[in-house]
Amino acid sequence: MTYILIIATFLFAVILPGTLVLIRETVKHHRQEIIRDLAAVFQAQEGGSGQRLIPSFEFVKFKYFLPSLNEEPNRQPQDFKSSAWALAMIPFVMITGLLCWFAFTVLMTGHLPSQLCHLELSNPCKPDLQAGGKVIPLWAYGAISAFFGSYILEIRNLYKAINNFDLTPATFVDCAITIAMGTSIAVLIVLVFKVLPDIVPPETTDTDNLVILFCFAAGYLPQVTLRWLMTQSRLKNFKRENQEIYKVLEATPIELIDGIETEIRDRLADFHISSTQNLAAANPLMLFVETPYGVYQIMDWVAQAQLCASVGPKAVTELWKVGVRTLFDLERAASYPLCNNTNMLEIIGAAMFADLQPTGSSNTTNSSRAPYDEAFVKANIEMRLDDPHVHRLRQIYMQVGERIGQRHARFLARGGIAPATLASSAICFLQPDTIRLETGGLGLFRVGDTLRISGGTNDNKVGLVTSVSDTLLKLDGAGLADSNGEPGITLLKINP
C-alpha cells in the first residue's frame, strides 16, 4: 500500500508537471519553425534602415525568443534556464505532494495519516463520516474534495499556458498558492464559518455530500468563494461589488462569427478568446502560429469580430444583408469612391443606429428623409476605425497584398483599381514633388499617407503626402522628375 501511495504522489506532484515543461520545449521549437516560414511574407527581405517593420510579426518573434530585425549582433532573447524551472517547482511539488499523500491515504486506507490522528478537528456543525469502521472527520473529506478541484483547475491552466506559450516558472508558484488557498478555504468553511445553513437547503437530509460538493467548488473557484465569504461577512469597510451591473453586461459569443462553431470556440477558449471583443483585439499572426487554422481564415475572423465589437451583434446581422461582413467593408462603404453610395449609407446608418433615438426624429417620422444623413454616418464610421488593433490588422492585410501583387496591395481590387491604388496614363509629375491628374481621383489619398510610384521615370520613388485635392497632390522627399502621360503609372499607398 505504501508503494502505491508513493507512486501516486510522485505521479501527481513530479512527473505530470515535469512532463508539461518538456512539452513546452517541444511546442516552442515547432512554432519557431512556423515563424521562420512566416518571415518570407512578413519580414522585409532587403536590408537598410528604410525597411518597414510589421509590429505584429515582431511581437510573435519576441514571444518565441527569436531575434528581431536590426537586432544588435549576437543578441537574441533568452528563454528561462533549467535552474529557474527546478527552483520554481519546489513549492508546487511540496504542496501537491503533501496533499496527494493525505488524500490517497484517507481514500485508500480509510483513516487519517498517523500524524493527524490525535488532532481534535471534527466539525461541530456536522456529524462525522464513517469509512472502514473508523471515524473520518468531515473536514478531511472537504479538504480532499477541494484539493482535487484545485488540482484539476491548475492542470488545465498549465495546459492553457502551454497553448498560449506563457508557461513560466512563476506559473508553478502561482498554481501552488492557488491549490493551498482553495484547500484552506474549504477546510475553514467546514470548521470555522457557520455558513452551511445558507448553502444547504433546510429540507435536505444528506447534508454531508452537499458540503463535500461545495468544497470541490471552493477549490475549483477559490477567488469566487473568497469574494462570497467576504460578502457574507458584512464587513463595514469592505468594498462590495454592485451585483446589478452584471444584469446589464453581456458578452457576445464568438459563434456569431461566420465560420466559427462550438468546436472551434472550445479550441479558441484555450487561448483566452471567449468573446468577440477578445477575438477583435487578438494578434492574427500569433493565432496562426498557436492554432491549426489558416492565416487568411483567422484574418477574416478577426475582421468580422472587429465589426461586431464596434457596432454590436444586432447591427452585424443587418449589415450582412448589404454585404458588410468586416470593419474594412464598412470603411470602404464610407471612404472609397468605388463603393460610395448614398442609399447604401442610409441603410447602413439605419442598421447601426436602430436603437438610438435621433435628434429631431419627431419631425422626420412622416418624412422619406433618413434620420441620419450621409455625413453623419461617414463621420461615425471614421471614428470607429482609429483603433490600434484595427490599424494592426490593416497592416497585415496590406503586407499580404503587396506579396500577392501590386494590383491587390490594399484588400480587394475591383475594376482594376484597388481601394488605395490609383492607376492612370494621364498622371503628370512636376517638380518640386507635385502630382497632377486633371480627370480627378487623387482625393483617394490623405495628408500623412506614404505614397509609392510604380512604373515610368519615377518608378519606386516614395514620398509623404503633405497636401491633396482631387486633382493635385504634393509630396515630401520623393525627388520626382518631370514626366507626363507615361503608360503603366500606378500610385500606391504603402503606409499601414
pLDDT of residue 188: 85
Q: What is the DSSP string of 302-325?
A: HHHHHHHHHH-HHHHHHHGGGT--
Spatial strand order in the sheet of 434-436? 421-423, 490-493, 450-454, 462-468, 472-476, 434-436, 428-430, 483-484
Amino acid letter at 470? D
Candidates 407, 435, 434, 436; CA nearest to 423 is: 407
Report the alpha-carbon distance of residue 16 to residue 10 in Å, rounded. 9
pLDDT of residue 121: 47
CB-count burial class (<10 Å; 0-12, 13-18, 19+) for 354: exposed
What are the residue ranges of CATH 2.40.30.270 in the chain?
406-493
pLDDT of residue 115: 57
Q: pLDDT exceeding 90 applies to what percent of the chain?
A: 34
- Residue range 75-99, pLDDT digits in tens: 567 889 989 999 999 999 999 999 9
- Residue range 417-457, pLDDT digits in tens: 344 678 888 899 999 999 999 888 887 788 888 888 988 88
Candidates 203, 232, 235, 239; CA nearest to 218 is: 232
Report the alpha-carbon distance of residue 111 to residue 131 in Å, rounded. 7
At the top level of CATH, the class of 406-493 is mainly beta
Residue pointed to by grid coordinates 529557474: 84
pLDDT of residue 143: 92
Structural contact between residues 278 and 256, judged by C-beta atoms closer than 8 angstroms: no
Q: Where are the alpha helices (DSSP H) in 165-242?
A: 169-191, 196-199, 207-220, 222-233
- Residue range 235-258, pLDDT digits in tens: 656 666 677 777 777 788 899 999
For the chain, first and last CA: distance in Å?
66
Work out the number of other CB atoms within 10 angstroms of the CB of residue 246: 9
- Residue range 101-131, pLDDT digits in tens: 999 988 888 777 765 555 544 444 444 444 4
In the three-class reduction of DSSP (H, G, I as helix; E, B as strand; rest coil), residue 55 is classed as: helix
pLDDT > 80? residue 357 = no
Candidates 374, 163, 168; CA nearest to 272 is: 163
CB-count burial class (<10 Å; 0-12, 13-18, 19+) for 65: middle
Report the alpha-carbon distance of residue 493 to residue 447 in Å, rounded. 11
pLDDT > 60? residue 34 = yes
Average pLDDT over residues 45-67: 70
pLDDT band at 2 (very low <50, low <70, confident <90, very high): confident
DSSP 405: -
| All cell numbers assigned to 476 | 515630401
Structure pTM? Answer: 0.67
- Residue range 149-194, pLDDT digits in tens: 999 999 999 988 998 898 999 999 999 999 999 999 888 888 775 5
Work out the number of other CB atoms within 10 angstroms of the CB of residue 379: 10
